[in-house]
Amino acid sequence: MYGPGALLADRYRLDERVGGGGMGEVWRATDQVLERTVAVKVMRPELLEEPGFAERFLVEARTMATIRHRGVVGVHDYRSDASDAFLVMEYVDGEALSRRLHRLGRLDPALTMELVAQAADALQAAHDRGVVHRDIKPGNLLVTSDDQLVLTDFGIARSAASTPLTATGAVIGTPSYLAPEQVLGQPATARSDLYSLGVVAYECLAGRRPFDGENPFDIAMKRLREPPPTLAAGASPAVLAVVERALAADPEQRWPSAAELAAAARRALVPGSSSPPARPGSPDPPARPDSPAFAAARAAVPEPPQPVAPTRQERPAPVRPAPAYPTTTTRPPAPAYPVPPAPPERPPVVLVANLLLRVAALSLIIYCVASLSVMDIVTVETERALGTSGDDLLGLLLALAWGVVLGLFLIALLLLLLSWRNDRRSRTARAWTFTIGFFVLCCCAPAGVLGSAGTGVVDADRSGYEQRLAAAMPPWYEPVTSGSGLIMAVALLAALVLLMLPAANRFFRLPPRPAFYYPYNPYPPHQHPRP
């Protein structure tokens, strides 16, 4: 790649690497013509020949150039040829929000709402230009030392005026921050960005994301089936309401625009402020004027602010009055799009399959222990056959024998671990079960059973070494190793067959496949997530 001191276009000197990802690296650099510090995003050379990547890089540059807002990183230059492609941007002297969260754990509600308001302002500027970011996450939000936020990385943003570079239905973005409609393969909208910002706000307040799992598929399914966990006490009801509405599963239940989310976040900063506007079903609040002074003037109005229309308290009281703001137990109504049903309980075939895996693993351990117990006999007879001149060969053979036995013992331990993970509906564990199981059945089991069965047979047609070795073996060796190897093979085969049945597929939500196919890939071919 590139290193400090490299000169691009005879103008931009790379000084220090400040970040990187699947598509390229970001450097702090010096513009030697204008004598100013800039940020240079350099595309990986090997990706220039991949179809679509150079076009995506150019789209990112053009998209960022159309947005002029103090909360969106500015673009200065773009260069591309057969060997290089780089984007010159405004240098933000700060750190990613993800790094600050890693250092501090969580943020206080006041700072969280201030950062959310700034991010929403930047998103509104992008949405006004018809640009949906599609990858809002702490790693793409830079925070300066005076807590000013800047939105970066429009690498997968979608503009209404640009030609789509991804296939219809492709899931684009970082799995932990995707909106439910993006998980289902539906097009991302401006409200999808607001959901992702809601996840960021939740993470800032709680120190963790609302949904986590062992793989991206689990995270996506939780987001579709479950409401976000209730935030711990410490934030005001107005702050909780801002985050809760942003995290509504149904896009229609979220904030109508990023500008309204920003206004609600700033109102939540005022002590004793009234609740955010009611959910859809009540008249939407008026749009915020473009004047920057309006927000400051609105915040300075004594609480409660004068509403445009009569408030809920001014209307005749219903039989069951509703609270002024959504309580922690209030959840958005069911989404309008289809939600996959909850997975069924663990079916009997999975229970039996995992039990058979444990039987196969224990049988393999017995086989290994029996083989290790006769290793001294094999050593003595082999040494007699080779004589004093074969010491090197003897050492090699013994090392190979020990390696095979220890490898089989490790496979047995892996089968025990995989059976435990399969009980917890781990799709990755089932994939590795097929990979290891097929290897054992096709390679190890036939050789082991035939070898142990032939060791205890004394045949006149065999060599003297083989006859002495067979005669020296204890009488229990052949039945124990042959029996344990046969039991292992049968139990393992039956377990793999059971894990292929339709009931197991419904439980794991995936047809059987070997482990070198990752169970869920939210990125299109040749594209990788960037930090």
Active site residues: 135
Q: What is the residue whose two structure tokens read 């204890």?
A: 474
Half-sphere CA count of 76, side-chain side, radius 13 A: 18
Q: What is the residue whose two structure tokens read 């190890």?
A: 444
Burial status of residue 290 (CB atoms within 10 A of its CB: 0-12, 13-18, 19 or more): exposed
CA nearest 245: which of 230, 259, 261, 232?
Answer: 261
CA angle 476, 480, 486 (to 5 degrees): 150
CB 48 within 8 A of CB 82: yes
For the chain, what is the total number of helices (H) and then of strands (E)?
Answer: 17, 11
Burial status of residue 429 (CB atoms within 10 A of its CB: 0-12, 13-18, 19 or more): buried
d(CA 125, CA 143): 18
| DSSP assignment string, 359-428 | HHHHHHHHHHHHHHHTHHHHHHHHHHHH-GGGHHHHHHHHHHHHHHHHHHHHHHHHHHHHHHHHTTT-HH
| DSSP assignment string, 28-48 | EEEETTTTEEEEEEEE-GGGT
Q: Which amino acid is located at 98 in the chain?
A: S
